[in-house]
Structure 1
Amino acid sequence: MASRNDSTESFANRTTQERREILRSRLTTTHYLEETASTNTLNTLEDIMKDVDNLNLDTSLDEKILNQEEVVLDSELMQASSQILKHCITSITTEVTYNFLEYCDKLKEYIGFTSDSIDSSNGWSVFEDDAVKYFRKVPTYLTLLGGLEPIEKKVTVRKKITKDSEAITKRPQKIVELEKAEEESVENTVEKIKSLIYTECKRTLKPIDFYKLIINPIDFGKTVENMLHVSFLVRDGRVKLSRDNNDRLVVSSSTKEMRAQTKQANSTVQNVMTLTIDNWRALTKLYNLKKPMIN
């Protein structure tokens, strides 16, 4: 008769239908174990899990993807086996009582220890190989402590902090000048765009299409900068953003009253719409733009 460890089968070259039947059979047996738990429950469950593992090893990943029913059956087997293990743990906890004196007596009997024997070290060899695995070995360290002359400690002299070193560190002049130059450059650019809008509106006697104004057909980054600069002008009330009769966004010059009202409101909020590179390409093609209005 084959031992319990040799009872698992080989499932190489099985068809999909055969694998399903094997899984269903093992699942039925597992459900039976849930209802009739006994001392051999864990042994039987171990054999079932080995069969399932062997079946999974002989099944490729592509086959598992194409046969989802096998994956479901495998999951049900895992769930049922976990319930059995949980039930066994509960039974051991509630039904089995542990008596350490009885355990010691059985242990002494197992290693051949008697009260008449003085030297019982021979009994250790019975389970030495198994027991030593559970004892942590203390690592061996080698040290040169005491073998060399101690090095004389070097005295560190702390530098006295003077009032000059406590002074507040100022930002480098070059950085301040660079930031100032950048701010002036942006202001000049915004002012030029405002002059362009006023001049064009005066010449044509009608507002300018917002997208024709800001889009640079050869540079997406410049388009975003133009939109941001125009938003500054709209925020400060220096130009007017509205919709024409065709519901298109247009930009026009503002009146003195509009500028005064905006200044009195003292608004610090400016709105910038979302413009992706795909939108930029589509608008450039729609308006058939060849060169930018803001150059």
Structure 2
Amino acid sequence: MDGQTEEERRKIRQSYRELQKELVTNGEKMEDPDEEAFHGARKKNNKLFKGVQYTREAVLDGENLEMIANKAVTQADRLMEVPRYDPIKFQQKLKSHFSTGRGQFDWLSLGKAASVCFNMPPTNVSFLSGPLQADYEPKQKKARQARKKPAEESDAEEEEPEDVKKQERSADNLSEVEKNIKELYKVLKKKCHQEQKNQVEQIAELPEDEQQEARKELRETEGEIDGLQYLFNPNSFTQTVENLFHFSFMIKDGRASMRLDDETGLRVRHVGDVDGDQRADGTRQTITSLSMRDWRKLTKAHGMEEGYLKHRVGSRHSRGNRSVVVDDSDEE
């Protein structure tokens, strides 16, 4: 390239080497983000690059540029680091700021400098809180009085626990649960067999071309009976809940099934005896809620006067054959 003498090129190379030496000597300052040495070296290197026209000088520029880039990376790392406090360096800075001329530490100056960080009234200052003419009256403590027992408690007769062994067994005892489940199973089996017999007789009365289609439909609903008529007791909400609870054991044992039909409602049927493996494969659990209000609505909507299961008169919830009257006042 023309326009640049050998002497000018020599000066450019010399300036690059001096800048390179400066980058090595003042490396600590250039790595400090608070110092201006880094920006000065970068501007100086850019100014020298404007006079570069040959490869020899460009190599020196590349070396300096690499060193400047490394300093920039170090600065970025320091900015991202969490500030660390060196106790020795902190002590040295405190001594440089709060030392007296005789080499002693000036604690008074440190206290004044730190007091601006606290929002508090000055010391050795007293003040009054409240009106000046108010007289102080100490609060009188009342004498503690013993609590008196009511006359009813003092005159009450002491009751003795009843002898449970002498009481008669009721229908709510655990021994009656198995009897109730047995009765539920007996009634279910009888009603389902009767329903199955009625369905077969109805199919036999149909024309021959319709009997085959009717038998296919019968396979899905064969022997099913109305679940509400079977489980609900229109005279006792408690016994209705007991029937549902006992029926759940029959489903768990694989002796009964339950399903909900969109047209006919709740349907139940007798399944029969199954082995343990088949019983475990088809077991599913469902939790449902039934309030007394729901029970009243269902019994009234279906016009139920008597269920398939007999009313248990031996239960304490139904002694005296008390019947439940459906009140329309709480219906929505």
The question of a shared fold, defined as TM-score above 0.5 by the shorter chain, is answered with no
Structure ranking higher in helix proportion: 1
User: Structure 1 length normalisation: TM-score?
Assistant: 0.39
- Looking at CA atoms only, which structure, 1 or 2, has the larger radius of gyration? 2
TM-score for both structures, normalised by structure 2: 0.35
